Structure 1
């Protein structure tokens, strides 16, 4: 089995209203276009051989803190690209999985206080999801909370 895992990791901290547009483009270039650039040449190789796994974020559903707007926009674009690929690859025997999590204990999150999931736990949850044929994997409590809150009043997330 082949397995393609996309785990783009950059956060410029760009503010949507005041940061240079180039910083926002950098987030989009990495998360959306970078992921797509990797997927395109590998799709014919992995057809029928295994899944495509895109590591997303709880921020693909909601911008939750100052400085997360640009990252959130880029991850939302990557999430919807993941959904679009799922549609385009229908019938080709390629699972397209989106993995959502709050914060992982990585270099990118080193300066951020709070609970963080160990990267090995993210990998384990994703692989269990692959075995189950899951389109979406919610790795931790923050991702499950935000996903559930999407059906309700946005004030639940932003109020």
Structure 2
């Protein structure tokens, strides 16, 4: 679910809907199932937009960033009961959610590939699965100067 709401000029109801879906929804489901997941696993599908924002994606990026950190916090809280928590980070997946949004085909990941990578990462006990090259480049850029990252992003291929 993505509303395309900007944080400053966007509709606050749309922004709240993003957070309700990606943060509160994930937390509510996790809390409901956590007691039964001892020795089990949680797999949260995140986005490269957990780590950066782009025009028209402010609310989505903020909600996914909150969901990413929620994933990290829940992982720590559920360690005593041996519940594995894995975050799956992907740029974009070829689904109905992105259809008609102008995402370049080169950025779309096949859903089968995403699921395979997620399940392989889960089986390997990985905390995080970065599915595609662009998501990996964004993660690597996190330790650098954000101004340099956004300047390069504006000059390179559109991400979203």
- How many residues matched? 148
- Bigger share in helix: 2
Q: 1:57, 1:101 within 8 Å by CA — same for their partners in 2?
A: yes
Secondary structure, aligned partner of 2:116: helix
Indicate the residue corresponding to 2:150 in structure 1.
158
Indicate the residue corresponding to 1:84 in structure 2.
73
In the alignment, structure 2 segments of 5+ residues that lack a partner are 152-160
Counterpart selection for 1:135 from 122, 127, 132: 127
Cα offsets for 1:40-99 (capped at 9, x unmatched): 111111211x21000000000001x21111000000000010011011112211110010
Indicate the residue corresponding to 1:26 in structure 2.
17
TM-score scaled by structure 2? Answer: 0.89
Map 1:114-129 to 2 at 5 A: 114=104, 115=106, 116-129=108-121
TM-score scaled by structure 1? Answer: 0.90
Shift of 1:155: 2.3
Q: Distance in 2 between matches of 1:119 and 1:157?
A: 28
Indicate the residue corresponding to 1:42 in structure 2.
33
In the alignment, structure 1 segments of 5+ residues that lack a partner are 1-9
Cα offsets for 1:10-40 (capped at 9, x unmatched): 1011011111211110000000001111111
Indicate the residue corresponding to 1:62 in structure 2.
52
Cα offsets for 1:123-157 (capped at 9, x unmatched): 10011111110000000011100000101111232
Large movers: runs of 4+ above 6 Å? none
